Structure 1
């Protein structure tokens, strides 16, 4: 019952936390942190980066309304960040605004999970055997987004889905393919060791009542030199319509998964 209440509170009752997000931006600024997008930090990693760095990554799983509010706060404070959009949250106009401000807009991909659900695949070996087809689909989607955006995409980030967890096949396995990366011009996947080994602490936001894991950014700022802060709009402000739509979609997809025949 407590778990259900916490989920309902997080999705429908939680007050806006945007003031808290702005407080993080201010504290980082006051402590001398350069606040960068993933792309900028990755490209500077082998040079002499600023003494203190806060790398901002936003995964736009849902809730474009709150994503725009986060962007407005960052613009007010001169902060650069990366916004990764799923196919279902693509907003090319907004993505162009992000790029024009010096931040990064790119792709939050999930072709592996999407393919598994579409074809009702129930075993990891069967899914991995279809990777050549899935890579082709990824390349088509990637190129389409870059063409519509009007600029190349340098970094991408894997999205996590219940299908990935059930099959124990993560989306970014798809990019364990040098040829695919070269074909698309991908410099970095957000979970690459080439990026993360330069990070002292990787903090992700979480739903109520946890909020942050493994530590609060307020505690890490001033203590850790290089911080990567992953956030999701849905964790910072409730959006009844979008949350209801996403919850309904998740229930329908899981029911279809459970009732499908094994492949």
Structure 2
């Protein structure tokens, strides 16, 4: 009952937290952190031959901003406006259902990164009502081709080469215990698409001292607040979802209804 009430509050009544996000951008800047994209950070790793570059090549303090646009593009735009105001670059990963090519081009033009938040494994499982991990993995060759088509189509319409991507987590992935990221374990798939890095690659994550994700009300952050992490950790990755920062009751209702319909259809 308490979890349901918390969900209702977060989806429909919670005051905006965007002031808190703006405060974080200022605090990180004032503490000497360079705030950058996943793409920029990874390319610095490559330039440093796999090690975090020294002070001559890169700043000592780095905060990588990653936004997964599961829903609520409206709030994502507000976060982007805050970042632009503070001279911050961030990575934005869009699902097929949240693609906004005009906004994505604005992000890239401002020095940020706009790319793909993919979920082909979950989508395929729901579409074909597959509820067995073994069976879905047997269909991976088909699912990889679907990923290639989607990835290339987005790149063509965007007019830019995307080089990092981020796996989306769906209820179907949790029920199957199969993550979308498994698709990208295929080196040939990465070569075909020109993908340099997946945001959950160990070769990326192991170079962070702290990886923080936002959470819904009442916890907000895991495993700690980014405000507490600043000064204690030099290299931080901060994953956010716009839906956690401002109430958008129309979008939240749409997503809740869609999720319920998908689950009913998948189990039918």
**Shorter-chain TM-score tier:** over 0.9
Q: Match for residue 170 of structure 2? A: 161
In structure 2, C-alpha distance between the alignment counterparts of 1:128 and 1:83, rounded to whole Å:
28
Note the aligned Cα RMSD (angstroms). Answer: 0.6
The 8 Å contact of residues 116 and 151 in structure 2, kept in 1 or not, is answered as yes
Q: Which residue of 2 aligns with 1:5?
A: 5
Deviation (angstroms), 1:258: 2.1
Q: Counterpart in 1 of 2:237?
A: 228
Deviation at 1:204, TM superposition (A): 0.2
Could you tell me how far apart the structure 2 residues matched to 1:202 and 1:11 are? 25
Give how far 1:65 is off. Answer: 0.4
Q: How many residues align?
A: 259
Aligned to 2:258: 249
Contact 2:35–2:62 (CA under 8 A) maintained in structure 1: yes
Instruction: Give the 3-state SS of the residue equivalent to 2:212 in structure 1.
Output: strand
What is the match of residue 80 of structure 2?
71
Q: Which residue of 1 aligns with 2:134?
A: 125
In 2, Cα distance between equivalents of 1:116 and 1:256: 11
Give the ranges of 4+ consecutive aligned residues of structure 1 lying more than 3 Å apart after TM superposition: none
Say which is worse superposed, 84-93 or 43-52, in terms of deviation: 43-52
Does the CA contact (< 8 Å) of 2:11 and 2:248 recur in 1? yes
- Listed one character per residue, the Cα deviations across residues 50-98 of structure 1 (whole Å, up to 9, x for unaligned) are 1000000000000010000000000000000000000000000000000
Check the 8 A contact 2:70/2:98 in 1, yes or no: yes
1:170 aligns with 2:179: yes
Name the stretch that deviates more: 41-50 or 4-13.
41-50
How high is the TM-score relative to the length of structure 2?
0.96
Alpha-carbon distance, 1:255 to partner: 1.2
Runs (5+) with no aligned partner, structure 1: none
Could you tell me which residue of structure 1 aligns to residue 68 of structure 2? 59
1:139: how far off? 0.3
The aligned runs of 1:152-231 (5 Å cut-off) are 152-231=161-240
Query: What CA distance in whole angstroms lies between the structure 2 residues aligned with 1:234 and 1:191?
Result: 21
- Measured after TM superposition, the shift of residue 108 of structure 1 is 0.1
Aligned to 1:37: 37
Q: TM-score, normalised by structure 1?
A: 0.98
Q: Secondary structure at the match of 1:105?
A: strand
Structure 2 distance, partners of 1:22, 1:44, is: 26
Aligned partner of 2:20 in structure 1 is: 20
SS in 2 for 1:69: helix
In the other structure, the counterpart of 2:59 is 50
Return the alpha-carbon distance in structure 1 between the equivalents of residues 135 and 4 of structure 2: 34
Question: How many angstroms apart in 2 are the aligned matches of 1:167 and 1:206?
Answer: 23
CA distance in structure 2 between the aligned counterparts of 1:160 and 1:247, rounded to whole angstroms: 15
Q: CA deviation at 1:155?
A: 0.2
SS in 2 for 1:224: coil
